[in-house]
């Protein structure tokens, strides 16, 4: 439950502030409506506290889960009501009547503003009646849920501190604690290595060795095997093995457990200071080995490390954790004493599965050979997954990081932070998930950040199952005839449309409240857009076949539109009506030119258009942070002069194909000292032979990427003036083929970086697909 409730509590936590913003705006509400908004604001704050309490329960009962589900649906509906409010009153873009009056500088303009205000009240009266009725319905639902919260307590019953109901779930890691050493697979070398790290030539100072790895990779099994081996070799006078877990009980469980294992009983009391003191006294003047398994947090480690005295007797501590950062912090020698657990080889995976599923014979029956291969691929060398699947017999998609981050923001998962942008916050979340080994990083950039990422298939399946249980997302295969959700309301739809259909796969009556729709495979199963009024994310990247965009411009809350790699050839002329749109991606499509109305998208921050022509007056789009386009505009051969005026542009990707542009300067792309005041990353690729930078140009650019799709056969230098980019830190150059021009350019850039540029930027080079 924790995955979905955590996201839900974050959203509910943000709703009171959104309601507060609504109250501060000068919209005209019907009598009593303002008080209802204030009531919702107050009650939702209390409700969020109850949600956080539910989040702390490991296994909430059916009653609690049902209540959380109702709160989730209510929160979605309230947020939809808030976001639609201003659009239904004034179209989402007009200034409020009060604001117009305040800016008037004369009595005549003030009178006109008063007239407009009166007219607005009359013309929007029907809409305001509908809004007031909806608000009253939301208020009644809040009252009912509040009454339920008072009638039913969500505290765990006595004797069940974890909040579990019924039989306690068995932790699969327990099997590792009591596993027969003869049944272990693929651990001989790791046990030998970690044992050497722990003993470290019998050095006398206290040493901490950490074992890290993704969930289910065998950290507990490895630690127990090492613990058992060293214990049998009589290296230590006393030892203990304790598991912490995500919701630790340091006082009531962990410390008392250690005391018990080292031979010291504990008579009572819960004073942590006394427990630590007793433990230190018992370990004093002894050589000990303590294993702290499944450590999650720094707070718990700060407490635990106080328990272990260093008497220079060669004592050792082992820590297992899925968090790479925490592993380094716990270990000795500034993070050098960390062992990273890898995945099993294919042969070891087969061996482990066979032993678990088929017993001593280890042979897979002939009629199960095909299923056996599928299971092995799905488990992907993850020991716990192999072990679990083998006991009950009943996807690897590469995700672009930029796409993921922008979707998170569009979905509203990323809250505003005081000292960081939403994108910076989102990237920090991703870094944390990678550090915890829940997400695998792929294709690292020059600064070590990933260009893309993926999930291990088993972790992916777990997340999907949990998300669908809580109606956080609905995953629908085209072969399914109906959706199965808790209440029939789909909020997020992932349509995996692998076969061609003549009709939409998902019924529109079930997805009219959908906030995001993502389609993989064929586009003909996409639901009709004009019936999804609260849609925020529409992601059709890579869909095959014709894409119908009828009704697109009615999606007034749409923030993210990804049509990359589809057959779309034209965008609606009225796309400027999507006033909330933040990301538009039409790269690798058949779109030749962007509609002129696009310059009205005042919130658009990421415009990715590939070779489509930009509209005139692109310089007016001051919200743009990222732009990917060809260097050609509707009314001019070069778009650079217009782009130079974009005051907030941070990242620019330019595509060149000079062979198709008659009359264009095919010799050089040149950046002057004017414009691009805040640009930090510049990427240029195409067939243009040379790029030049003059003195004091692009003063904020830190990253420069240049990809030459054709060689420079005359042997001339293709890049000049990088020493004039004062903030430059990283340079990446790629040539599709090696020739005299490529050799001259590489030598020139490296010489400028090493001998001339004051920052001595890093230079990475790739030629014909190979790094040199």
Contacts of 448 (CB under 8 A, 6+ apart): none
The third-level CATH classification (topology) of the domain covering 187-340 is: Rossmann fold (3.40.50)
Backbone φ, ψ for residue 319 (5° rounding): -125, 130
Please report the pLDDT score of residue 486 as a whole number. 52
What is the helix (H) or strand (E) element at residue 476, kind and residue range?
A: strand 474-477
Other CB atoms within 10 A of residue 698 CB: 27
| Cα–Cα distance for residue pair 755/722, rounded to 1 Å | 12
The pLDDT value given to residue 107: 47
Angstrom distance (rounded) from CA 671 to CA 699: 11
Pairwise CA distance, residues 53 & 9, whole Å:
10
- Token pair belonging to 308: 């272990």
How far is Cα 661 from Cα 142, in angstroms, rounded to an integer? 62
pLDDT of residue 181: 53
CA–CA dist 584, 620 (Å, integer): 17
Q: Where are the domains of the chain?
A: 1-89+136-154, 187-340, 366-458, 631-771
pLDDT of residue 624: 95
At 182 the pLDDT is 55
Cα 193 to Cα 212: distance, rounded to the nearest angstrom = 14
Tell me the C-alpha to C-alpha distance, in Å, between residue 732 and each of 163, 211, 771: 54, 35, 11
Paired strand residues for 561: 538, 584
* Residue ranges of E strands in 657-697: 669-671, 681-686, 691-693
Could you give the CA distance from residue 380 to residue 303 in angstroms, rounded to a whole number? 36
CA distance 459 to 467: 12
pLDDT score, position 355 = 60
pLDDT of residue 27: 55
Burial 701-737 (b: 16+ CB within 10 A, else e): bbbbbbebebbbeeeebbbbbbbbbeebbbbbbbbbe
Average pLDDT for runs of 10 along the chain of length 772: 51 73 62 76 78 69 80 85 76 40 45 53 60 84 83 53 44 52 65 88 88 81 88 89 82 83 70 86 91 88 89 91 87 80 66 60 60 56 41 62 90 79 86 76 83 77 72 72 58 77 60 88 82 91 91 94 94 94 95 94 94 88 93 62 90 79 58 86 84 87 90 77 92 89 90 92 89 84
Decide: 538 and 559 in contact? Cβ < 8 Å. no
Report the C-alpha gap between 322 and 435 in whole angstroms: 8
Say if residues 636 and 659 touch (Cβ distance below 8 Å): no
Torsion angle in degrees (nearest 10) through CA of 570, 573, 576, 580: -50
Q: What is the CA radius of gyration of the chain?
A: 31
**Whole-number pLDDT of residue 609:** 93
* Structural tokens at position 463: 């997340």
Beta carbons within 10 angstroms of residue 758's beta carbon: 8
With 0-12 / 13-18 / 19 or more C-beta atoms within 10 angstroms meaning exposed / middle / buried, residue 662 is exposed
What number of other Cβ atoms are within 10 A of residue 354's Cβ? Answer: 19
Place of tokens 């309301």: 489
Per-residue model confidence (pLDDT) at position 388? 37
Q: Tell me, which fold does domain 366-458 have in CATH?
A: Arc Repressor Mutant, subunit A (1.10.10)
Q: Which residue has the tokens 């005359």?
A: 714
The pair of structure tokens assigned to 97 is 């009547």
Sign of CA dihedral 384, 388, 391, 393: negative
Cα–Cα distances (Å) from 505 to 121, 285, 497, in that order, read: 43, 71, 8
Q: What is the pTM of this model?
A: 0.75
Tell me what pLDDT residue 595 has. 95
Distance CA 364, CA 355 (A): 10
Residue identified by tokens 């008579």 is: 267
Q: How many CB atoms lie within 10 A of CB 99?
A: 12
């Amino acid at each position: 439950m924790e995955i979905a409730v955590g996201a839900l509590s974050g959203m509910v936590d943000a709703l009171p502030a959104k309601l507060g913003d609504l109250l501060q705006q000068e919209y005209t509400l019907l009598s009593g409506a303002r008080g209802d908004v204030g009531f919702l604001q107050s009650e939702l704050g209390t409700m969020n506290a109850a949600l956080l309490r539910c989040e702390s329960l490991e296994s909430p009962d059916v009653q609690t889960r049902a209540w959380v589900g109702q709160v989730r649906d209510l929160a979605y509906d309230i947020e939809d009501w808030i976001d639609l409010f201003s659009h239904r009153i004034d179209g989402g873009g007009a200034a409020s009547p009060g604001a117009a009056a305040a800016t008037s500088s004369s009595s005549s303009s003030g009178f006109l503003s008063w007239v407009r205000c009166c007219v607005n009240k009359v013309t929007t009266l029907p809409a305001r009646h509908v809004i007031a009725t909806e608000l009253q319905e939301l208020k009644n639902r809040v009252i009912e849920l509040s009454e339920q919260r008072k009638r039913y307590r969500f505290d765990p019953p006595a004797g069940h501190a974890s909040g579990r109901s019924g039989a306690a779930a068995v932790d699969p890691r327990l099997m590792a604690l009591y596993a027969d050493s003869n049944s272990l697979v693929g651990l001989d070398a790791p046990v030998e290595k970690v044992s050497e790290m722990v003993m470290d030539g019998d050095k006398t100072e206290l040493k901490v060795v950490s074992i890290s790895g993704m969930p289910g990779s065998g950290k507990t099994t490895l630690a127990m095997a090492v613990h058992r081996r060293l214990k049998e070799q009589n290296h230590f006078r006393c030892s203990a093995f304790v598991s912490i877990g995500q919701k630790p009980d340091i006082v009531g469980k962990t410390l008392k457990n250690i005391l018990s294992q080292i031979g010291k009983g504990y008579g009572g009391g819960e004073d942590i200071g006394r427990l630590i003191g007793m433990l230190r006294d018992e370990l004093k003047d002894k050589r000990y080995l303590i294993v702290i398994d499944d450590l999650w947090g720094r707070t718990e480690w700060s407490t635990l490390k106080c328990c272990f005295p260093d008497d220079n007797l060669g004592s050792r501590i082992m820590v297992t954790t899925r968090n790479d950062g925490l592993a380094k912090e716990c270990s000795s020698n500034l993070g050098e004493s960390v062992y990273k657990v890898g995945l099993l080889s294919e042969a070891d995976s087969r061996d482990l599965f066979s032993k678990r599923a088929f017993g001593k014979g280890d042979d897979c029956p002939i009629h199960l050979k095909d299923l056996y291969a599928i299971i092995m691929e799905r488990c992907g060398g993850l020991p716990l997954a192999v072990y679990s699947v083998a006991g009950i017999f009943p996807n690897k998609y590469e995700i672009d990081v930029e796409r993921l981050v922008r979707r998170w923001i569009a979905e509203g998962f990323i809250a505003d932070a005081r000292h960081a942008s939403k994108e910076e916050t989102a990237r920090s979340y991703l870094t944390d998930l990678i550090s915890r080994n829940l997400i695998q990083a792929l294709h690292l950039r020059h600064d070590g950040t990933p260009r893309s990422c993926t999930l291990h298939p088993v972790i992916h399946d777990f997340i999907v199952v949990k998300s669908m249980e809580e109606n956080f997302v609905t995953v629908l295969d085209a072969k399914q005839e109906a959706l199965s959700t808790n209440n029939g309301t789909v909020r997020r739809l992932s349509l995996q449309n692998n076969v061609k259909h003549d009709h939409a796969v998902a019924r529109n009556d079930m997805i009219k409240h959908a906030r995001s729709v993502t389609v993989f495979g064929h586009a003909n199963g996409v639901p009709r857009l004009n019936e999804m009024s609260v849609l925020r994310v529409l992601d059709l990247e890579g869909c095959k076949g014709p894409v119908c965009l009828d009704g697109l411009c009615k999606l007034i809350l749409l923030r993210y539109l990804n049509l990359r790699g589809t057959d779309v050839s034209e965008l609606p002329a009225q796309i400027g009506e999507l006033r909330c749109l933040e990301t538009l991606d039409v790269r690798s499509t058949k779109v030749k030119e962007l509609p002129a109305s696009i310059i009205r998208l005042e919130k658009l921050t990421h415009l990715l258009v590939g070779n489509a022509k930009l509209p005139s007056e692109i310089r007016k789009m001051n919200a743009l942070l990222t732009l990917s386009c060809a260097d050609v505009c509707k009314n001019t051969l070069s778009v650079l002069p217009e782009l130079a005026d974009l005051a907030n542009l941070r990242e620019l990707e330019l595509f060149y194909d000079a062979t198709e542009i008659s009359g264009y300067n095919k010799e050089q792309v040149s950046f002057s000292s004017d414009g691009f005041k805040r640009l930090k990353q510049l990427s240029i690729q195409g067939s243009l032979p040379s790029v030049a930078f003059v003195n004091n140009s692009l003063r904020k650019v830190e990253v420069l990427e240049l990809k030459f799709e054709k060689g420079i056969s005359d042997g001339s230098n293709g890049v000049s003036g990088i020493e004039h980019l004062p903030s430059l830190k990283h340079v990446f150059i790629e040539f599709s083929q090696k020739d005299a021009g490529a050799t001259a350019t590489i030598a020139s850039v490296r010489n400028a970086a090493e001998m001339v540029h004051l920052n001595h930027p890093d230079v990475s080079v790739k030629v014909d697909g190979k790094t040199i």
